[in-house]
A and B are shown apart, each in its own frame.
Chain A
Amino acid sequence: MARILVADDSETILLLLRTRLEMEGHEVATAVDGHEVVDRVRTAGPPDILLLDAMMPGKSGIDALRELRAAGVETPVLIVSAHTEGDNGTDHADLAIDGYISKPIDFDQLFTKIAALTRPDPAA
């Protein structure tokens, strides 16, 4: 279905996300921080969707995304955040974020958003 790069600093949550996404038939790669996200995109090329935790020690998902966007990577992105929407202070309008997922993760909602992002472009 879709190639998804998932980043979270918690191995447990990575395992959970990988398991649920693979059960839905997606191909999953993982990263534990923003540095690894940027490295993986550089070496393996951009995935179909980025699923990034907003706050990770070292380099956050937001920082990694900023770097990727600056490098011209236009991959759709969903941000996973422990904060519910509105607590992030800014909406990062410049980063073209396609959606926010709050913790605890509502997987039905997550799958719906992923489906919407991978739907074939009607214009194509």
Chain B
Amino acid sequence: MLTGLAVIGVARFLQQRQDYENATARSYQREIVARNRLAQGRHPAAARAAVISQQHQRQALRDEISSETRDTALLVGAGLIAGLTGAALLFTGLISSMRRPLEDLVDASGRLAGGDLDARVKVGGLSETATLGGAFNEMAEELQRRAGERDQLDRMKDEFVLTASHELRSPLTSVQGFAELLLLEREKLTPKQAETVEVILDNTRHLVRLLNDLLDLARSDAGRLTIRPEQTGATGLIEDAVRTMRAQFDARAQELSQEIEPGLPQIEADRDRIRQVLVNLLTNANEYCPQGAKIGVKARRAGAEVEIDVTDDGPGIPEQQLEHIFERFSRGDAGETQRVGGTGLGLAISKSLIELHGGTIGAESTPGEGSTFRIRLPLVVPARVEAT
């Protein structure tokens, strides 16, 4: 409306200018008539007076138009200023009505990116920001739906692994049990038959190991891999694992030594799980190292931790493999794994188990010289630890 005032002002100015020019033109015509009369000598006094009067009148017209022009200019200026101010106010309003929804969007995007799939924005305000907010909410909805589907698939996978592992255990119990039964009467078997039964047993044990590893992994994924820590002698625990593995090392003519610092303290640990980790490390050393290799288990106290090293003088692990060695299904060279036949899960599970104890596990290796796996276990399991 104020801008309208400026327009009216300009129109009025143009009208006044027109009126002024018309009036001035008429005044000149009258003066010319008067001057003609004067030149013809008719009523010279009146003609002279008319000429002067017209000159005065034009002066008055000039004064009037300049004053009116000034007023109009003022009016136009005021109109323009008022118009600009209005526009500015309008913009400020526009910006603030956009700013809030945009700030909400930025905030919600941040939360969504941070994993809060419930993040939504209030849809409203200008149609553009409302559309944007609506689109954001649809996207978040879709993300949440897919995350839900993925969670459900994960649960189904975990459930499947648990069920499959359960169902496979009964037939495996029979196969392993009867093969063992046959070997108990080895003297009645021919050497060929005895060897055949050994193969059945080896493969059954491998299947059981694979099953147990898959089960542990499924538990780990479902957050159900748990430990039951109790006070236990570190020395006995290590000796126990070494004793379990002794026969396998003898079979490959490998030297297995243990060097445990005297007076190693009690630690808080799940005996079965720590033995599982040690047996896993020793099995790897046994299988990946050639006949005649030397494997050593060393344990010592280091502050509030017990440090256990499993060292071998085997082929070692190339640097690029060493980085990934604790990842799932990470295995040695294709040729090696053909021969060795592990599951590729042992170290990943070992890492989870050690981390559940609040400890760490790491590996160092020099290709051609050997490898060392080091476990550090705290004497006391800290409250609330999570495996990765």
Instruction: Place the interface of chain B in its size category.
Output: 20 to 34
Q: Is the Cβ of B177 less than 8 Å from the Cβ of A104?
A: yes
Mask, A62-92, CB within 8 Å of B = 1, is 0000000000000000000011101100000
Q: Is the Cβ of B174 less than 8 Å from the Cβ of A10?
A: yes
Q: Is the Cβ of A12 less than 8 Å from the Cβ of B181?
A: no
Give the dominant DSSP class at B's interface.
helix
A111 at the A/B interface (Cβ < 8 Å)?
Answer: no
Neighbour of B169 across the interface among A82, A86, A107, CB < 8 A: A82
Neighbour of A104 across the interface among B176, B219, B226, CB < 8 A: B176
Q: Is the Cβ of A104 less than 8 Å from the Cβ of B178?
A: no
Chain A: CB-nearest residue to B174: A12
Given contacts A16-B177, A104-B176, A105-B173, 14 further A-B contacts (CB under 8 A): A10-B170, A13-B170, A13-B173, A19-B181, A20-B177, A82-B166, A86-B226, A86-B228, A87-B219, A102-B169, A104-B173, A104-B177, A104-B208, A107-B177
With A and B bound together, what is the CA distance between A102 and B211 in angstroms? Answer: 13
Q: Which residues of B contact A82 (CB under 8 A)?
A: 165-167, 169-170
Most buried by A among B165, B172, B174: B174
Interface residues of B (CB under 8 A from A): 162, 165-167, 169-170, 172-174, 176-178, 180-181, 184, 204, 208, 212, 215, 219, 224, 226, 228
A23 at the A/B interface (Cβ < 8 Å)?
Answer: yes
Neighbour of B177 across the interface among A23, A87, A102, A105, CB < 8 A: A105
With A and B bound together, what is the CA distance between A58 and B68 in angstroms? Answer: 111
Instruction: Place the interface of chain A in its size category.
Output: 10 to 19
Q: Is the Cβ of B170 less than 8 Å from the Cβ of A23?
A: no
Chain A: CB-nearest residue to B207: A104
A103 at the A/B interface (Cβ < 8 Å)?
Answer: yes
Q: Which residues of B contact A107 (CB under 8 A)?
A: 177, 180
10 tightest Cβ-Cβ pairs between the two chains A and B = A103-B169, A82-B169, A16-B177, A104-B173, A103-B173, A82-B166, A104-B176, A12-B174, A104-B172, A104-B208
Q: Which residues of A contact B219 (CB under 8 A)?
A: 87
Q: Is the Cβ of A16 less than 8 Å from the Cβ of B166?
A: no
